[in-house]
Structures are given as C-alpha cells and as structure tokens.
Amino acid sequence: MDPTYTSQALDPDERRKPVVLIAEQLSDATLEALGPDFEIRFCDGANRAELLAAIVDVDAVLIRSATKIDAEVLGVARRLKVVARAGVGLDNVDVRAATQAGVMVVNAPQSNIVSAAEHTIGLLLAVARHIPAADASLRSGEWQRSRFTGVELFDKTLGVLGLGRVGVLVAQRLAAFGMKVIAYDPYVQPGRAAQMGVRLVPLEELLTTSDVITVHLPKTPETVGLIGEAELAKVKPSVLIINAARGGIIDEHALYVALKDSRVAGAGIDVFVQEPCTESSLFELDNVVVTPHLGASTKEAQEKAGVSVARSVRLALAGELVPDAVNVQGGVIAEDVRPGIPLAEKLGRIFTALAGEVAVQLDVEVRGEISGSDVKVLELAALKGAFAGIVEEQVSYVNAPLLAAERGVEVRLIRNPDSPDYRNLVTLRGTLASGRQVSVGGTLVGPKHAERLVEVEGFDIEIELTEHMAVLKYVDRPGVIGVIGRILGEAGVNIAGMQVSRDRKGGKALVAMTVDSTIPQTALDAIAREIDAEDVRAIDLTE
C-alpha cells in the first residue's frame, strides 16, 4: 500500500505529536528527559496575553513560579491534559479548576528538600555569626571585630517544628554540629523519632528549652500563626528562629516586636505572608537575615524538578500511572475503581482530623464488587489524604507509603467481596499509640458517584462529604442539638446537613454535620464546654 495514501487517510489528531509548552526557563536536562516524542514550543508564561495564545492547542505545559494557571487559562486550553510545576509549591496553579477540567497537575515534591535544608542551615549560620552585617561593614571600609561577636551552635539545643523530610535533614546535619535535637510533631511516633536521635516534646517545652528553633511545617489553617505573641513570650531571649518553610506560620509582627524588644536574639527568614515581599518591618532590624524565598533556588534542585516533571508528563501523555499527580490520577485503573480514588483520599483526611495524630497501624478495607479489582490505588489515595496538610512536603501517591513507613505506621490493604449494606465500601481503621481506635467509612451513591460518609468510629450515619464538616461525641440527652445550633448561629455558621447516631438511648451519641463555612475555634470550644462533649473535631476538606 502506498504510504503516502495511508498518511493522508489518517485523522490529523492521530498523526500529530503531543505538544508540550515550556512557559518558563528550564534546564537542558528537562528537555532531554522529555525526549524526541513531543513537539516542543516555548512562550513567556509571565506574559498573560502570550500564554493565553500559546496554550490553546497544547497537551501539556511546564511552568515554574511566574506562570499563573487559573480558570481563564484552563478555559482556553482545549487540549490540555497536564500542568507540570517544576518545583514543590502550587500557589500559582488553581488545582481545583484543573481537577474540574480533568487536567492533571503534577509537581516535583522531592526536588528541593536538600536545598531547603541547606538554606535553613545557611540562614542559621548567617544569623549566629552576623555574616551579612559583617560583610557589609567590611566592604564599607570598617574593621569592627568586636561588634560582630557571634555564638556557637555546639552543645546548644535545636528545636525542630515539623519532622518531615526537610526537618529530618536539618536535624541530621545540625546534630553533626554537636547540637542536641528535640522536635514537635504530633504526627510522628516517638519510637521513630528516637531512631533518628530526636526527642519528641510538646510545643511549650520546645519553645522554652530551645536555643535554636527551625520551622518545617506545611501552611494549613492549624499552623497559620502557630508561633505568635503568646508563644514568643515563652522562648529564651537568646533564641535564634529560622523559617524557610512557609510564610505566616510565624506571626511576622509578633516576631518583629520580640526581636526589637530583645526577647528574641535573632532570626533568619526566607518566606513571607505576602510574596513578593520588598517591604517589611523585619528589614529594619540588624539581628535579622532575610532572603527572597531561596530555599529551592539551587541549580541541582531546579534540574531535579525539571527532570521529575518531564518524566511525569511522559507518563501522563502515555496514559500510564503518574506517581506525582496531585489531583487527577492517571494510569491503568479499573473504571469502577477510579471514582473511589477521591473518596479514599478524603476519608484519609477525615481520619487524621479525627485522630489528631498518625496511627500505629492503619487498615484500608475495600468491600464489595470492586474488591476483585486491583484496588492498591485506593490504599495510596487514603495514605495521601491521611498525610496531606500534616507534612511540609507535597504528598503524592509515590511518597505517601514512604511517609507512613518513616513515621512507623503499619499499613494493610484488606479486600472483602462481602458488603451487605452498600455496593462498595471503603473503610479506614486505625490504632493510635494510646490504644484508641478510630474508623471512618465512605461510599459512592448513584450514577454521579456522590460521596457519602457512612460510618464514624462505629456509629452508622449517612451524610454528604463537603468542604467544611464537624464531628462531635457526647452523652445522649435532650437539648444538645439546640445548643449546637444556637452557638453556630451566633458564630454566623450555617448548618447544611446533620446526622445524629447513638449506641443506645442515654448512651454515647455522635453528631456529624456539614456547614457552609469554617467553624471558628471559639465556637468549637463553646460547644465542647456547653454540651460537655467527649470530643469535638472540625474537618476541612478544601484543597
């Protein structure tokens, strides 16, 4: 057969190479990792008009931090299948809009951990030895050795806030300086920390005993403002504080006041609440070293990031499993299993919110028709959800099992075809270090696969999964629901749905409810106090 005739007979979309748009400067290694199978195009992603014109017919776009991928961009990108962020943060990508558009978002969660750890230590040494100020003084013609007398790190106590990948690397490296290492992280088992030579302590003890405090936490509603005026009032006046994680975890104004009043000796800050940040009261102080979010800014980190996302793009466009996908999971997954992936991830997040710590053992049980398929991805999704928001690094399907292993969590996947109440059911059951048992179960309902929470800690319920939820446990008695409604009403929080379950009349009762907005902590405290609740937990399922 004439090959020319065959080519003409093919649909143009079948002949075209997938198009990959490079919207920012990336390393040569990134292009090499993509290989020859793609048509490569370039544009300036920071130029909005140029980006909107260039992205119309591409299959994938590779970006860094300057390119904003939002609903407008996704709306014109008719063929787009993958947004690849060559780095860790996703602040410039509207993940929710991408998910709704069926566009996969990938990043490079492990690319910068060494660079971030080394930058933390660089900031610490710069603060401890006044290196930037001494450099500036000498360059201006001054020789003032006594003015820049510093402090040693040897035999001092390092307090690590967040014992994730970066926190561990910092702890290891500063232990080699002869520092004693303590850490605050409720999601790490003490035995695991001890293996690393780290002693876990409550937050207050870390604040009062540390000579150096380094921050390695994710930015979540729970961690924003974690170190504020009250916390800084507890630290040693000689303490040095370093934050190269996320802006806002330390209250910048409270830190400024503490530094100015000599209640904190020095600080090294790489991240800010608003970025870019070119004006801050912290810049006025001689005992502060600042850098413009340089934690990941090394050649090695940028190359690792580019190569990592290039490989993810190749996998995604080939229809294979993409371990670093943060939203839409690709790969060869049974059609009846695929809708359960976001459900399992949300159940993982609910489990952690209810437990308040990681489990010693966690079972992911899949019951019903889908149990005969390969449901390993549901275990991965549950782990991804369980660790989302409690570790500094982005959690993916590939690193979630590693995070569990690092924290001493034994994970089991259990399959059971018997599901008497639901066609399919996913349940997470965990045992905490205290011996307490926590369980949550969910299912999908109807042709649209509506997500339902159907079991919490042995109580049968059925309630829609929404962004804002709460679970309360108390002794069954009249008037409790009225109290809950009154307090939430006074706080301006509207109840969207509520289910009440109890083990017996006058016994233990559980309320699961959905609300239209975040419940203020003051309202949660008031509810707990007035109904004498055994437990009150808010659940946030926002992206």
Domain ranges of the chain: 3-109+300-332, 113-290, 343-540
In whole angstroms, what is the distance from residue 389 CA to residue 387 CA? 6
**Banded model confidence at residue 190, pLDDT cuts 50, 70, 90:** confident
Cα torsion 271, 276, 278, 279 to 10°: value is -70
Residue of 249, 291, 297, 240 lying closest to 273 (CA atoms): 249
Asked if residue 353 has pLDDT above 70, the reply is yes
Residue 423 burial (CB count, 10 A): 13
Buried-exposed string 176-185: b where 16+ CB fall within 10 A, e elsewhere: ebebbbbbbb
3-109+300-332 homologous superfamily: NAD(P)-binding Rossmann-like Domain (3.40.50.720)
Enter the tokens of residue 364: 């992911």
The predicted-structure confidence for 359-382, as pLDDT tens digits, reads as follows 999 999 999 999 998 898 899 899
Residue-level pLDDT at 70:
95
**Nearest to 59, CA basis, from 11, 97, 104, 100:** 104
Out of 141-155, 184-198, 282-296, 488-502, which region has the weakest mean confidence (pLDDT)? 184-198
DSSP structure class, residue 531:
T
DSSP 355: H
Q: What is the pLDDT of residue 192?
A: 81
Active site residue 293: yes
502 with 510: CB under 8 angstroms? yes
Mean pLDDT across 159-184 = 95
pLDDT band of residue 328 (cuts 50, 70, 90) is low
E-strand stretches of 421-507: 424-431, 437-445, 450-456, 459-464, 468-475, 495-502
246 counts as catalytic: yes
Task: Catalytic residue, from 246, 311, 367, 468: name it.
Answer: 246
HSE-up of 257 (CA within 13 Å, CB side)?
A: 11
Which amino acid, residue 261?
A: D
- Please compute the mean of the pLDDT values over residues 344-371 and round it to a whole number: 94
pLDDT reported for residue 279: 94
Residue 350 has pLDDT above 70, yes or no: yes
Question: Has domain 343-540 been given CATH number 3.20.20.70?
Answer: no
Q: Please spell the DSSP secondary structure of 276-335, one letter per residue.
A: S----GGGG-TTEEE-SS-TT-SHHHHHHHHHHHHHHHHHHHTT---TTBSSS--SS--T
pLDDT tops 90 at residue 331: no
CATH assignment of 113-290, among 3.40.50.300, 3.40.50.720, 3.90.850.10, 3.40.50.2000: 3.40.50.720
Rounded CA separation 49/52 (Å):
5
Model-wide pTM > 0.75: no
Q: What is the mean pLDDT of the chain?
A: 91
**What pLDDT score was predicted for residue 542?**
83
Per-residue pLDDT at 8: 36
Pairwise CA distance, residues 189 & 193, whole Å: 7
Q: Does 9 score more than 50 pLDDT?
A: no
Average pLDDT over residues 175-183: 97
Q: How far apart are CA 247 and CA 513, in angstroms?
A: 32
Give the Cα separation of 397 and 99 in Å (integer). Answer: 16
Give the contacts of 181 (CB within 8 A, at least 6 positions apart).
157, 158, 160, 171, 174, 175, 197, 198, 199
66 in Cβ contact with 48 (< 8 Å)? no
**pLDDT, tens only, 89-116:** 788 999 888 877 878 899 988 888 999 9
Number of H helices, E strands in the chain: 19, 22
In CATH terms, are 113-290 and 343-540 the same topology? no
pLDDT attached to residue 329: 58
Burial of 10: CB neighbours in 10 Å, binned 0-12, 13-18, 19+: exposed
Q: Considering the candidates 39, 50, 229, 275, report the single residue annotated as catalytic.
A: 275
Residues 328-337 have a mean pLDDT of 68
398 pLDDT tier (thresholds 50, 70, 90): low
pLDDT at 311: 93
User: Chain-centre distance of CA 56, in angstroms?
Assistant: 30
Catalytic residue selected from 130, 293, 311, 349: 293
Mean pLDDT of 514-532: 94
Of 510, 514, 483, the C-alpha closest to 496 is 514
Respond yes or no: is residue 275 known to be catalytic. Answer: yes
Mean pLDDT calculated for residue range 168-185? 96
Q: For the chain, what percent of residues have pLDDT higher than 90? A: 74
Q: What is the pLDDT of residue 543?
A: 66
